[in-house]
């Protein structure tokens, strides 16, 4: 009997834990989208006022850190410095594709980021700024959508976890 | 002409700084081709030219070479290494550090200064809007010009410029193209700024207005050429505006600037003198009388602005001193 109770508790705890992870993930995506926007905003300021080259600007953004999305920037810098990529666009695309799994961003976000890289560094300042603004507005839309689904799903996942755990215990008992 | 010079005969010593400076900005194929040149110092390369679909060409002061596929110098164009459009594209991308937007003004002017002070000239299709050059695209030709500092090349001239221990004469350096005008000005700047023990001359504050980034060759604002310890540089600034800015901001004792003679330069020079600051500058020309055909310079000569004229020539190699003329009496001090 004791064993059964212990087993049930473990099942309930792990299911709730799973629910909490999924619900935390819902919260993370809008947050990371917001961080990306502020990082791109920083990039815009750096190229328009300081006329920084991509490696310098991205280096600074990457070093501020504190965000899962910083790695896109720092990895682009590494690839460019070590001449592993033939262009800034290629370096950025690789950095995004290789690291997107480690963030909570979804496929749509990934495509927006990759298309941001398409003309990265290869036009004049006006072109760069227009590109950044376009990406910012797309990310804003994604953020709104993510925010909506967070409101819907956050609690659902959490309660689903606990209830699911209890359901499993009842069935097994 | 020596055909096998110097790749097969050179002594391997320390790497040539000029070549090492340009390797990081060249496309992989070309970097690999010229890597080994770095160890042949006596080539004294002045230029490397890359043109899409044409052979790569190396040039020093009197000879030009091609390179074959293995990177050996040759004078036979039929076996020459051909530069591809892709090589040019990658090189442009690397020299602008993948950030064309940060170099758009330089590209508009047709050249970029890279680390080490070397300049890369660009040729391609010009995009204009209302008659103003907007940018340069489809770049098809690159000219890598090495900056060669010649320490002490103004030695013979300096004596004529000094007025006592801490003052100098307003000077105009006159020289035909390719005769070392800029190199001499740079050496003058360095010496005036550091001081010259030989003449017991104490260093003075020097302000360089470097409109075309040639004198100090700044890369990200930092002079890549040694222009002395008491020297401030305004990089990429129009001369006439820059001279006034420099006086107000850095209070130099002397202003040094290259290639005077445009509209508005005269007023700027006069305001420099009114502020009690000396000026050393240069002009294209073969002699003083030829300069008089240029209006802006003629007025400066008539106003007796310059106290010394230094005329350079090419008879004994670049930087040969032809004569020094006293600007007030117009009598030669040395010829």
Q: Is A105 on the interface with B (CB under 8 A)?
A: no
pLDDT of A9 higher than 80:
yes
Q: How far apart are CA B60 and CA B167, in angstroms?
A: 38
The answer to whether A24 touches A173, Cβ cutoff 8 Å, is: no
Q: What's the pLDDT at B5? A: 40
C-alpha pair distances (Å), A126 with each of A3, B59, B203, B248:
69, 38, 45, 33
Q: How far apart are CA B49 and CA B65, in angstroms?
A: 11
Average pLDDT over residues A98-116: 92
Q: What's the pLDDT at A92? A: 94
User: What range defines the domain where residue A117 resides?
Assistant: 30-156
B153: left (phi over 0), alpha (psi -120 to 50) or beta: alpha
Q: Which residues of chain B have pLDDT under 70?
A: 1-15, 39-43, 334-335
Q: What's the pLDDT at B8? A: 37
Residue A136: pLDDT band with limits 50, 70, 90: very high
Domain total for chain A?
1
The answer to whether A40 touches A73, Cβ cutoff 8 Å, is: no
Task: Give the Cα-Cα-Cα angle B147, B149, B154 (nearest 5 degrees).
Answer: 135
Q: How far apart are CA A56 and CA A43, in angstroms?
A: 10
Q: Is A41 on the interface with B (CB under 8 A)?
A: no
DSSP for B315-332 reads: BTBTTEEEEEEETTT--E
Of B90, B97, B104, Cβ closest to residue A54: B97
Q: Look over chain A and give the mean of its residue pLDDT values, rounded to a whole number.
A: 90
Question: Do the Cβ atoms of B97 and A86 come within 8 Å?
Answer: no
**ipTM value:** 0.73
Q: How far apart are CA B155 and CA B158, in angstroms?
A: 6
For B200, other C-beta atoms within 10 Å of its C-beta total 10
The answer to whether A143 touches A34, Cβ cutoff 8 Å, is: yes
Q: What's the pLDDT at B15? A: 61
- Closest residue in chain B to residue A125, using alpha carbons only: B101
Task: Give chain B's domains with CATH numbers.
Answer: 17-145 (3.30.450), 155-334 (3.40.50.300)
- List chain A residues with CB under 8 Å of B115: none
Q: How far apart are CA B233 and CA B275, in angstroms?
A: 19
Question: Do the Cβ atoms of A47 and B97 come within 8 Å?
Answer: no
The answer to whether B111 touches B87, Cβ cutoff 8 Å, is: no
- Closest residue in chain B to residue A52, using alpha carbons only: B102
For residue A150, being part of any structural domain is answered with yes
What is the pairing mode between strands B332-334 and B231-235? unpaired
On the CB side of A105, CA atoms within 13 Å amount to: 28
The answer to whether B163 touches B291, Cβ cutoff 8 Å, is: no
Residue A45: pLDDT band with limits 50, 70, 90: very high
Q: What's the pLDDT at B4? A: 39
Q: What's the pLDDT at A172? A: 82
Average pLDDT over residues A14-34: 87
- The contacts of residue B262 (CB under 8 Å, 6+ apart) are B239, B240, B296
Q: How far apart are CA A37 and CA A145, in angstroms?
A: 15
CA distance A137 to chain B (A): 22
For residue A169, being part of any structural domain is answered with no
Average pLDDT over residues A16-39: 88
């Amino acid at each position: 009997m004791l064993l059964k109770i212990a087993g049930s508790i473990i099942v309930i705890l792990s299911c709730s834990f799973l629910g909490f992870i999924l619900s935390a993930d819902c919260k993370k995506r809008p947050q990371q989208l917001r961080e990306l926007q502020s990082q791109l905003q920083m990039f815009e300021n750096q190229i328009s006022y300081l006329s920084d080259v991509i490696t310098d600007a991205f280096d600074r953004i990457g070093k501020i850190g504190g965000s899962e999305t910083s790695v896109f920037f720092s990895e682009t810098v590494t690839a460019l410095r070590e001449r592993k990529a033939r262009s800034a666009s290629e370096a950025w695309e690789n950095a995004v594709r290789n690291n997107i799994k480690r963030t909570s961003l979804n496929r749509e976000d990934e495509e927006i980021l990759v298309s941001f890289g398409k003309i990265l560094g290869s036009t004049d300042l006006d072109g760069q700024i227009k590109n950044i603004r376009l990406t910012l507005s797309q990310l804003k839309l994604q953020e709104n959508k993510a925010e909506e689904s967070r409101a819907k799903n956050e609690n659902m996942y959490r309660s689903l976890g606990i209830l699911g755990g209890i359901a499993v215990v009842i069935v097994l008992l | 002409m020596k055909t096998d010079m110097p790749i097969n005969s050179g002594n391997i010593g320390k790497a040539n700084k000029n070549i090492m400076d340009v390797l990081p900005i060249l496309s992989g194929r070309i970097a690999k081709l010229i890597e080994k040149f770095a160890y042949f110092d006596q080539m004294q390369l002045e230029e490397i030219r890359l043109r899409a679909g044409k052979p790569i060409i190396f040039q020093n002061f009197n000879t030009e070479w091609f390179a074959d596929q293995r990177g050996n110098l040759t004078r036979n164009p039929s076996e020459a290494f051909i530069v591809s459009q892709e090589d040019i594209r990658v090189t442009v991308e690397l020299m602008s550090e993948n950030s064309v937007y940060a170099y758009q003004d330089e590209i508009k002017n047709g050249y970029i200064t890279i680390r080490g002070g070397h300049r890369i000239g660009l040729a391609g299709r010009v995009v204009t809007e209302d008659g103003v050059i907007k940018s340069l695209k489809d770049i098809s030709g690159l000219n890598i010009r090495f900056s060669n500092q010649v320490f002490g090349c103004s030695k013979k001239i300096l004596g004529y410029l000094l007025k006592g221990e801490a003052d100098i004469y307003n000077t105009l350096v006159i020289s035909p193209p390719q005769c070392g005008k800029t190199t001499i000005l740079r050496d003058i700047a360095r010496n005036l700024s550091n001081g010259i023990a030989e003449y017991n001359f104490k260093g003075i504050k020097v302000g360089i207005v470097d409109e075309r980034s040639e004198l100090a060759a700044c890369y990200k604002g930092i002079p890549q050429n040694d222009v002395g310890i008491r020297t401030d540089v305004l990089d990429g600034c129009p001369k006439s505006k820059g001279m006034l800015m420099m006086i107000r901001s850095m209070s130099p004792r002397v202003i040094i600037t290259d290639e005077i003679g445009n509209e508005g330069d005269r007023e700027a020079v006069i305001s420099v003198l009114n502020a009690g600051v000396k000026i050393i500058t240069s002009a294209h020309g073969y002699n003083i009388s030829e300069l008089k055909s240029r209006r802006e310079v003629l007025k400066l000569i008539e106003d007796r602005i310059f106290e010394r004229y230094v005329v350079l020539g090419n008879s004994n190699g670049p930087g040969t001193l032809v004569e020094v003329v006293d600007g007030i009496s117009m009598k030669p001090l040395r010829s």
